[in-house]
Amino acid sequence: MESEDYGQSYYPDEASLKKNIDSLIEILTRSGSMIKELRREFRGEELMQMPNGDNVWIQTSKPLFVRTNLQTEEPLKVKVKLENGEEVEQYVPHDEAIEEILNAINMMGLNQTTPLGTTNDPEMNLDLYQFEIRLSKLLTLNRKKWGIEKSVRPMIYNKIRQRVQDARTMQLDGRVLKSLTQISRITETVQRGERKQRSPYE
């Protein structure tokens, strides 16, 4: 005989279910906004609050890719007037270089659809290997043109490689997709239980 007890001891805890759903939503949302975040990071910008309360993006560190004087290899700088009237000297980001790198890592997996895909270790490792070769060539061949300091090139390479690897790892064995499917089934089970609670004659 089927039990008529549809309490939390029988069905999954709704708070736990909501937490899992929120976690997956955060993964997908963050995957979609990662390129924008990286663009700001590559440009050396942070969101700062002005005295009037406005939030504006301001260059607070040297961009990873900067325009240079091709003869002296010195990074180019310009004077910029901030909204508060202060005049500061800032590096000139190499936006073409930034967009080329961002496009490469977006196509490689740093996007909102990647977590919903599925892959296995051999396939992922081959993709990452090919991407890392391409990335290494880009950074090496364009080092002077893109204003990459020799001492920080390994750091830039590892930073980008790790971000892509983290994104692709979410695809392994369809982890996120399986979690979404499982949550969908659990939610349906909970809803059926709630309907039975409201009407025992269904």
Is-contact 86 50, C-beta < 8 A?
no
Average pLDDT (157-166) is: 91
Is-contact 110 32, C-beta < 8 A?
no
Which sign, positive or negative, has the C-alpha torsion 131, 135, 138, 141?
A: negative
- CA distance linking residue 71 with residue 135, whole number of Å: 25
Which residue has better confidence, 11 or 39?
39
Average pLDDT (91-95) is: 96
Q: pTM for the whole thing? A: 0.71
pLDDT tens digits along 108-127: 877 777 777 777 889 889 99
| Among 101, 107, 105, 113, CA closest to 27 | 113
